[in-house]
A and B are shown apart, each in its own frame.
Chain A
Amino acid sequence: MTVKTQVWVQVTTGGKPYPPTFQEMFLDPMFFGMEIWPIDHPASFAALLPTPPAPAPAGPPKVGRGAVGGGTERDEPPDYPWEPSGGRPHPGYDVLVLNDQMNWPETTRNLAKQAVEAGRGFVLLHHSLGDNQDWPWWYQEVTGGLFVLADANGMRRSARGAAATLDVRPVGNHPILRHTKPFTLTNEETFKGMWHSPKITPLLQTSHGASDTTIAWIGVHPTARVVCIQPGTSRETHRSHAYRMLIRNSILWAAGRL
Chain B
Amino acid sequence: MPDFSRRDFLGSALAAVVSTTATKAAAFAAAAQTTRRRRLQVQFTPGGHTSPLQMYAMFTDPMFEDVDTFVLPHPHAFDSAAGGDGPDVIVTNDWITGQWPEADRNNMVKHLDAGRGLVVLHHAVGTNNDAWAWWSEEVIGCSLYNPNVPGMKTQARLKQFITQTVKPVGNHPIVRGIEPFRMPWDETFPNMWISPRSTVLFESDDPSFNNPALGWVGPHQKARVVCFQPGHTRHVCQDPNYRQVVHNMILWAGGRLSA
Residue numbers of A with Cβ under 8 A of B are: 5-6, 13-24, 26-27, 32-33, 36-43, 65-77, 79-86, 100, 102
B54 touches A17 (CB 8 A): no
Other A-B contacts than A42-B47, A75-B162, 12 sampled, CB-CB below 8 A, are A6-B5, A24-B57, A32-B9, A38-B51, A40-B51, A42-B96, A68-B151, A69-B157, A70-B156, A71-B155, A72-B158, A81-B7
Question: In whole angstroms, how far apart are the Cα atoms of A38 and B191 in the complex?
Answer: 27
Given contacts A5-B1, A66-B207, A70-B155, contact A40 B150 (CB under 8 A): no
Instruction: Report the minimal beta-carbon distance from A28 to chain B, rounded to whole angstroms.
Output: 10
B47 touches A41 (CB 8 A): yes
Question: In whole angstroms, how far apart are the Cα atoms of A36 and B52 in the complex?
Answer: 8
Given contacts A13-B73, A17-B70, A82-B4, contact A76 B161 (CB under 8 A): yes
B159 touches A19 (CB 8 A): no
B160 touches A86 (CB 8 A): yes
Question: In whole angstroms, how far apart are the Cα atoms of A32 and B9 in the complex?
Answer: 9
B70 touches A21 (CB 8 A): no
Q: Which of B47, B152, B159 contacts A43 (CB 8 A)?
A: B47
Question: In whole angstroms, how far apart are the Cα atoms of A100 and B77 in the complex?
Answer: 12
Residue numbers of B with Cβ under 8 A of A are: 1-2, 4-5, 7-9, 11, 43-44, 46-60, 69-76, 94, 96, 145, 149-162, 185, 187, 191, 206-208, 232-233
Q: Which residues of B lie under 8 Å from residue A74 when comparing CB positions? A: 159-161
A24 touches B53 (CB 8 A): yes
Question: In whole angstroms, how far apart are the Cα atoms of A73 and B9 in the complex?
Answer: 25
Question: In whole angstroms, how far apart are the Cα atoms of A71 and B156 in the complex?
Answer: 6
Q: Which of B55, B74, B151, B153 contacts A14 (CB 8 A)?
A: B74
B152 touches A70 (CB 8 A): yes
Question: In whole angstroms, how far apart are the Cα atoms of A80 and B71 in the complex?
Answer: 29
Q: Which residues of B lie under 8 Å from residue A17 when comparing CB positions? A: 43, 70-72
Which of B44, B46, B49, B56 gathers the greatest number of chain A CB atoms within 10 Å? B56
A38 touches B46 (CB 8 A): yes
Instruction: Report the minimal beta-carbon distance from A72 to chain B, rounded to whole angstroms.
Output: 4
Instruction: Report the minimal beta-carbon distance from B29 to chain A, rounded to whole angstroms.
Output: 24
By beta carbon, the residue of chain A nearest B151 is: A69
Q: Which residues of B lie under 8 Å from residue A75 when comparing CB positions? A: 159-162
Instruction: Report the minimal beta-carbon distance from A18 to chain B, rounded to whole angstroms.
Output: 6
Which of B53, B145, B191 gathers the greatest number of chain A CB atoms within 10 Å? B53
Question: In whole angstroms, how far apart are the Cα atoms of A15 and B191 in the complex?
Answer: 33
A27 touches B47 (CB 8 A): no
B57 touches A40 (CB 8 A): no
In order of increasing CB-CB distance, the 8 nearest A-B pairs are: A69-B151, A70-B155, A23-B56, A40-B73, A84-B50, A24-B57, A20-B59, A40-B47
A40 touches B233 (CB 8 A): no
Q: Which residues of A lie under 8 Å from residue B149 when comparing CB positions? A: 68
Given contacts A13-B71, A42-B47, contact A68 B150 (CB under 8 A): yes
A83 touches B160 (CB 8 A): yes
Q: Which residues of B lie under 8 Å from residue A16 when comparing CB positions? A: 72
Q: Which residues of A lie under 8 Å from residue B150 when comparing CB positions? A: 68-69
Question: In whole angstroms, how far apart are the Cα atoms of A183 and B127 in the complex?
Answer: 44
A80 touches B156 (CB 8 A): no
A68 touches B160 (CB 8 A): no
A37 touches B56 (CB 8 A): no
